[in-house]
Chain A
Amino acid sequence: MLLKLVDVDKTYRMGDVDVPVLHHVNLRIEEGQITVIVGPSGSGKSTLLNLVGGIDRPTSGSVFFRGHDISDYSERQLTDYRRDRIGFVFQFYNLVSTLTALENVRVSTEIVRDAMAPQDALQLVGLSHRLDHFPAQLSGGEQQRVAIARAVAKKPDLLLCDEPTGALDLATGRKVLRALVELNTNMKMSIIIITHNVAIAGIAHRLVRIGSGTIAEDVAVEQRIEPEDVAW
């Protein structure tokens, strides 16, 4: 088992009030699978992703990664965890605007030991012809694929994607999904995608539905479809 969440609570303090976001969440994620977590805005799915990715800590409960409770980790251990285990893909790509595609990927390959060559990572997402372009010179889909290449290049155990197609049109979104499916098939990479777009669940092995901070549904996807058949 790759990931296990046990009784995870997360409460944010906004000014003088506590805003509960996640409540008693229990969840298991298997190795090598694509898991899609869907839910409406404010349902807590991004928070869940942040907890799994070690960029935030639960208020209570535990997050186990391959049997290690990362909620007990020190700041330093969390940094190592993020560096060696996790790849992040953000909805708004978060590319460094002053670096080219290749250099953006290099930002992540430079800090891990056994990384891919940045060119290879970009080739994986079909961007070998755009290495020297700056983000502003790339389309949204291309930017998102650079972001995926950046996340993948350090060969993470788990790829976390926050609304990877959220800012993209259908055709571009499909290309991004294709890239993710291929990573999963060819490199056996575990992937968690969070989205409010249920259609994406078609490419996943499992579908987790989250609402008002709790897990509402957790099912295996029986009929997986090709990214090109996804429609929204």
Chain B
Amino acid sequence: MVAALDRKLLRDLYAARGLLIAVTMILGLGISAYVANLSLYFNLELSRRSYYAQCRMADFWIDIQKFPNAELERLQRTPGVSELRSRIVMPVTVDLENVEKPLSGTIISMPPDPMPVINSFVLRQGGYFTPFRREEVIISDGFARARNIRPGDRIYVLLNDRRQELLVVGTAISSEFVFARGPGTMIPDKAGYVVLYVKQAFAEEATNMEGAANQIVGLLTPDMQSRPQLVLDQLERQLEPFGEATSIQLKDNESHNQLTSDLKGLRTVNLIVPTVFLAVSALILDVLMVRMAQQQRTTVGMLKATGYSNGQLFVHFMKFGVLIGGFGGLLGAAFGFWLAGYMLNLFRQFYEFSRIINRPYPSIVLGCIGLGVVIALLGAFRGVQQVVKLRPADAMRPKPPEVGRRVLLERWSKFWESLGFRWQMVIRGIVRHRLRTFTGVFSSMMGAALILQTLQIDDSFRELISFTFDRMLVSDFDLSFKDELDYGGFIETRRLPGIDYAEPILTVGCTFYNGHRSKRGAVTGIQQGARLTVPRDTVGDPIEVPETGVILTRRLAEILAVSPGDPLVMVPLTGARQRLTVPVSRVVESFVGTAAYADFNYLNSLVGEEQALNSVQAKVSTESGTVREFYRALKQTPRLQGFSALREQKSQLIELLKPLKVVNRFLIAFAGLLFCGGIVTSSLISLAERKQEIATFRVLGYQPRQIGGIFLRESLIINTLGVLFGLPVGYGFAYFINRAVGTDLTRLPFYFENSTWGLTIVLGAIFTVLGYLPVYRAVRRLDWIGALNVNE
């Protein structure tokens, strides 16, 4: 049998269902945001790990000129090495019949039969190689889909100056290329860059590498996972006889780097919002529970008179908290899990994982339910404490009318009197119910802050794109070459049809060192007075590249902890690889990449060259037909390694930044709910508390609209305060998130459009009105005649 008090509890909850639904939803939303974002992060991380395991992602890559495969077994005995694989990796130009411009790609050799080798792939369409042909290829699935290529199609590659026809037998994805970007491009581009897996025999023959390879990928033994450099140093020493070896660790792998910093950013952003939500729902719940307990005042008196002990009553009222918290937690956990699945699905567009796992995390769910209960209990505790503390005789007396106190504003008597009694009532009420006012102001403040911060991210995107593509990189095309060209090569390239203007660039891949800090990167050498690559400060003013020293982007300078004037050690990845000490001449703001710039001639002299270059930036005439002619010429250019059209990169960048925008859409919706939710609940609470007051107004002849006006006035004051405080808080959030989401590849400028401030205020006003609607409805539907007849 359900005890009589428990029955009372359930019926009380049912009677207050409207309000409870509102509070449970706010609590549920806070918790669902927690569950969703935490499980989104955990599941993406889990999916990543499972993908890496499935593809047997390498711990390191070593590029080498020509390594005899026969030596592999000996090399494999190096301490710390668990497994090695040698393969041929070669840039190619891909020529698709229906695509005018040349596309870049990378050929990678694979064993003729499927084996779980290091850095293998997951087949998506078609199958593995057959024994029937030599020229079979498995291409990256993203490229195949973007270019509408299916197994059975043929594609052409320019490999080792020879045009080769390849038969596509399958498409695949690989953890090595979650973010694949071609040489010379900044932005991962599925349609513009392709990975081509070919049979080893074909690769050896086509690249003149019979019995040899030019890249070694490997796995470390578990004990060396934390010290990869020790192993790599040993391997590099052993590889000395086979030409220059350049090694990179997993942490410097571009795709891995982008992926992990994306996930890290996601985690940071996604902790702020749920925390705000939980804080707000905790406050609202607190106010509500205090009020619910107070409403039961006379019942508490009766129960005490009947002989119920404080302990028994305490337990009874705490059950309210447990039920509300438990239910809110459960609801939140269920919705959160669904939301996590939904967001994961959206992420499928951006991350090509072998499978995206949406796994529920019982510990998160239970933790969140527990959290809900604790929050509700804290609120209930305060309310119950106040009521149970009363002597039964006092408790049974109706609550005395609250002391109406004068507020500070009343000192300006002329002004105060001109307000009219409704404003006066509202203002006194706001001053009197401090916690309730605080809750309302806090939730609208957080709502406004989240709206501002979310809108600001959009501003930053726009600014990033315009800064980078309209002011910094103003060429039409960037061509990169396999080997360094001399100045003659530049002159020759400049003569390609359609090119109006061109500038040479020398890029030197290197590792920067400052003490124990190091970072793999590159220095871009640009000519004095270059017009096509213009490093700029945040204001947008061009920065002169000094004749000596390097300019670093702020991000790179931060990673290396150097400032202007400091010496920096750079070790080029190719050539003589001497340790070069160069002065940092300046640190500039840049929003794309960890970049370093130097004077073209200065960089040349550093690496012992004279007027060497490895890429050319070009402006191409816009006359019709010239671009086509230019493309055709490019397809014939043998040493071309990569090619990027800047205009296209602009739209690719917009693609790349979409995951953040997805999260943003949810944030705006949540912020709106938060903004409304706080004021709706606190209005509903005050409506319930003032039933008799409202009934009296109705008796006097007030219309619901006029009574609703009192609540609207209250919302207006509270929300205006909330928005006012919310703007600076939102600025703070935006700043924090801006710092947190910066990755090595992209970094958002911290930029506000003026309209963002205005829009936040307008949205605040709209949400205020929206939040007023349910309150007005409640006023209209209030059983005021009943309220008049109720004692107390």
A-to-B contact residues, CB < 8 Å: 47, 50, 53, 55-57, 75-76, 79-84, 86, 88, 90, 92, 94, 96, 98-99, 103-104, 106-108, 110-112, 150-151, 154
Contacts and interface: CB of A to CB of B under 8 A. Distances in A.
A50 B302 CA distance: 12
Interface string B228-254: 000000000000000000000000000
Nearest to B307: A83
B393 A82 contact: no
Best-buried of A92, A111, A112, A154 by chain B (most CB within 10 Å): A111
Contact of B304 (A79, A103, A110): A79
A103 B308 contact: no
Contacts of A83: 306-309
Interface stretch (B2-10, B211-219, B482-490, B524-532): B2-10
A154 B309 CA distance: 16
For chain B, which range describes its interface: under 10, 10 to 19, 20 to 34, or 35 or more residues?
20 to 34
Contacts of A107: 4-5, 8, 303, 306
A15 to B, nearest CB: 9
Contacts of A56: 391-394
Given A88-B305, A108-B306, A111-B308, 9 more contacts: A55-B393, A92-B791, A98-B7, A99-B11, A107-B4, A110-B3, A110-B4, A110-B5, A154-B306
Contacts of B394: 56
19 contacts: A55-B304, A55-B393, A56-B392, A56-B393, A56-B394, A57-B391, A75-B310, A82-B305, A83-B306, A88-B305, A90-B396, A99-B4, A99-B8, A103-B4, A103-B8, A104-B4, A107-B5, A111-B308, A154-B307
B539 interface: no
Best-buried of A47, A75, A80, A98 by chain B (most CB within 10 Å): A98
B91 interface: no
Interface string B2-32: 0111011001101100000000000000000
B301 interface: yes
Best-buried of B301, B309, B791 by chain A (most CB within 10 Å): B309
Query: Which are the 7 A-B pairs with shortest beta-carbon distances?
Result: A83-B307, A98-B11, A55-B392, A56-B393, A106-B4, A94-B302, A50-B393
Contacts of A96: 8, 299, 302
A104 B303 CA distance: 11
Interface in B269-303: 298-299, 301-303
B299 A94 contact: yes
A87 to B, nearest CB: 8
B522 to A, nearest CB: 74
Nearest to B792: A92
Interface of B: 3-5, 7-8, 11-12, 14-15, 298-299, 301-310, 312, 391-394, 396, 791
Nearest to B303: A107
Contacts of B298: 94
Contacts of B303: 107
B4 A86 contact: no
Contacts of B299: 94, 96
Contacts of B305: 53, 55, 82, 86, 88, 90
Given A55-B393, A90-B302, A94-B301, A79 B4 contact: no
B76 to A, nearest CB: 77
A108 to B, nearest CB: 5
A96 B4 CA distance: 10
A81 B306 CA distance: 10
A82 B307 CA distance: 5
B307 A84 contact: yes
A82 B8 contact: no
B792 to A, nearest CB: 8
